Amino acid sequence: MAGGIHEECGIFALSLPEKTDVANLVYYGLYALQHRGQEGAGIAVCEDGVITAHKDAGLVSEVFTTPVLEKFPTGCMALGHVRYGTTGNNPRLNVQPLVINHLKGRMALAHNGNLTNDYELRQALELRGSIFHTTSDTEVIAYTITKHRLQEDRLEVALSRAMDELQGAYSLVVMSSRKLIAARDPWGFRPLCIGSFEGGYVISSETCALDAVGARFIRDIDPGEIVTICDGKLTSDRSHCGTREKHLCVFELIYFARPDSVMDGHPVQTARQRAGAFLALEHPAQADIVIGVPDSGIEAAMGFARQSGIPYGTGFIKNKYIGRTFIQPTQSRREDEVRIKLNPIASAVRGKRVVLVDDSIVRGTTSIRIVRLLREAGAKEVHFRSSAPKFLYPCYFGTDIDSSQNLFAYKYTDEEMRKLLDVDSLGFLSVENVVKLGTNGDHGFCTACFSRDYPCPPPQVAMKDKYSQPINRE
């Protein structure tokens, strides 16, 4: 299993008043969201009611070469998706968006999150005759919407009825021949926002993608809200809003999101600096320099340095042409990548007492290697600080922590972790302070992977690849 935690997806969509090269615009948006998923990418374009889609495994730049982009028609609507799969074991098969054809037309759908009742919904749909082609819960959502669409005049009403059945995390965008519809689950586990662009609208997982195409941020989509864009007008259905307490995944602020994004009113960069400041108060250290693990540990390290008064320095150089450590499928390859991805600056750490700040310690393998690099570079002492609390429990809402058994903090005591990491001291941000990372007084975060306080019931069938084998119905 990988050394770090992995998020599932990123979504980008737009609806414009005039036909244009919408595929290229979505390409730029997905490029800005590449950090949210590096397993596959897809784009669907709607032209005069006809949906044209292309998707494949790989990075955005690999899937959408110039010849591929040139084959897309001009259009007024399009949506795109980048994926890192948390359910299903076939990357190519499960790449989104999904395109569905039914009696009342066509529909393309892109989804970020994880359902907790998809196994039960899928069984019920199969008993009614549905035939599934993927092993992801996104297809369950698509079929559930379609089931209601065949009985409803409007797609947004069908989506609302589907939301009565869906449990868990889902931020999604649905495109028909005339409408672009976005929805967010009532808990608001995963982000989704609206921007304006050239007289039209843009939907995105993060504000950084709005910036990439020159769109202006309007607002976040509220938990439970359904936004419909049709004929240049935007309408909102808030019938599901307020039915649950808000629980944005706090790890969005700690690690998933780009630092230049703003999420539900929380500037991500500021949140990470606050995490570092809290760490300095909770776990002070006598040290000569504070360094961060690129990229998501850097802002927390700056916050630690500012709060503690210990000088901040650059301790690692990152090879910008190497992706995140979870791209390669085997652990041996991941460890090789850590070696070439990060290189310590020996002159900065040699003979010094170092505070090393990273976003988290999940399974420990990457952290052990990073500390070893510092020791080899001559660090006198290493004091490890994690800007996330201890990961102890499975996540069922869109990340790939499907069991406690491989979690470092679950398997070992604090002293055992310290020895295995080969550090002089070890400190984790507390659950009490992690909910204070927001800057607007909003403490509505999901901390279930740290606290086991699940906002909604966990799934009855929690296997990561629960659809990979034939279902035994005996």
pLDDT in tens, 90-114: 667 889 999 999 989 999 999 999 9
Question: How many angstroms separate the CA atoms of 267 and 366, rounded?
Answer: 27
Of 91-105, 174-188, 264-278, 369-383, give the lowest mean pLDDT range: 91-105
Q: For 152, which DSSP code?
A: -
Which residues are CB-neighbours of 434 under 8 A, at least 6 positions away? 250, 254, 275, 388, 389, 445, 447, 450
CB 257 within 8 Å of CB 206: yes
pLDDT band at 321 (very low <50, low <70, confident <90, very high): confident
Question: For residue 206, which phi and psi values (nearest 5 degrees)?
Answer: -140, 155
Report how far apart, in Å, the C-alpha atoms of 421 and of each of 11, 349, 447 are: 37, 18, 25
Beta strands 193-197; 233-237: pairing state? unpaired
247 closest CA partner among 203, 298, 184: 184
Spatial neighbors of 289 by CB under 8 A, at least 6 apart, are: 310, 311, 312, 313, 315, 348, 349, 352, 353, 354, 355
Nearest Cα neighbor of 426 from 390, 392, 383, 375 is 383
Per this entry, what is the length of the chain?
Answer: 474
Concatenated DSSP letters of 190-231: S--EEEEETTEEEEESSHHHHHHHTPEEEEEPPTT-EEEEET
Residue 5: the pLDDT is 56
Residue 467 has pLDDT above 60, yes or no: no
385's enclosing H/E stretch is strand 381-386
Looking at residues 428-442, what average pLDDT do you find?
90
Higher pLDDT, residue 393 or 472: 393
Q: At what angle do helices 298-308 and 268-282 cross, to 10 degrees?
A: 50
Tell me the percentage of the chain whose pLDDT exceeds 70.
91
The CATH class of the 269-441 domain is: alpha beta
User: What are the residue boundaries of the structural domains of the chain, listed by start?
Assistant: 9-247, 269-441
Comparing C-alpha atoms, which of 373, 73, 443, 24 is closest to residue 212?
Answer: 24
Strand-strand pairing, 216-220 and 193-197: antiparallel
446 is catalytic: no
Least confident of 15-29, 192-206, 344-358, 448-462: 448-462
As a whole number of angstroms, the distance between CA 410 and CA 372 comes to 22
Task: Tell me which amino acid residue 398 is.
Answer: G
pLDDT in tens, 284-314: 999 999 999 998 899 999 999 999 999 999 9
Report the candidate in 332, 323, 274, 327 with the shortest Cα–Cα distance to residue 300: 274
Q: What is the mean pLDDT of the chain?
A: 91
pLDDT-based confidence at residue 474 (cuts at 50, 70, 90): very low
In this structure, of 68-82, 173-187, 423-437, 451-465, the range with the lowest mean pLDDT score is 451-465
d(CA 85, CA 136): 8
Q: How confident is the model at residue 322 (pLDDT cuts 50, 70, 90)?
A: low
Rounded to the nearest 10 degrees, the angle between the axes of helix 118-127 and helix 137-149 is 50
Name the pairing type of β-strands 179-184 and 9-20: unpaired
What is the average per-residue pLDDT within 152-180?
A: 97
Task: State the Cα–Cα distance between residues 285 and 427, nearest whole angstrom.
Answer: 10
pLDDT for residue 326 is more than 50: no
Q: Determine the number of helices (DSSP H) and then strands (DSSP E) in the chain.
A: 17, 23
In what helix (H) or strand (E) does residue 273 lie, and over which residues does it extend? helix 268-282
pLDDT score at 269: 97
pLDDT at 79: 98
Q: What is the CATH number of domain 9-247?
A: 3.60.20.10
Rounded to whole angstroms, how far apart are CA atoms 16 and 230?
10
Check pLDDT > 80 for residue 189.
Answer: yes
Rounded mean pLDDT, 417-434: 98
Would you place residue 245 in the very low, low, confident or very high pLDDT band (cuts 50, 70, 90)?
A: very high
Amino acid at 80: G
Q: What is the pLDDT of residue 432?
A: 96
Of the listed ranges 53-67, 219-233, 447-461, the one predicted with least confidence: 447-461
Q: Cα 142–145–148 angle (5° rounding)?
A: 150
pLDDT exceeds cutoff 90 at 276: yes
What distance in Å separates the CA atoms of residue 215 and residue 186, rounded to the nearest whole number?
A: 26
For the cut 90, the answer to whether the pLDDT of residue 335 exceeds it is no
pTM above 0.85, yes or no: yes
Count the Cβ atoms, other than its own, within 10 Å of residue 457: 11
Percent of the chain with pLDDT over 90: 81
* Structure confidence at residue 6 as a pLDDT band (50, 70, 90): low
Residue 125: Cβ within 10 Å count? 18
Does the pLDDT at position 318 exceed 50?
Answer: yes
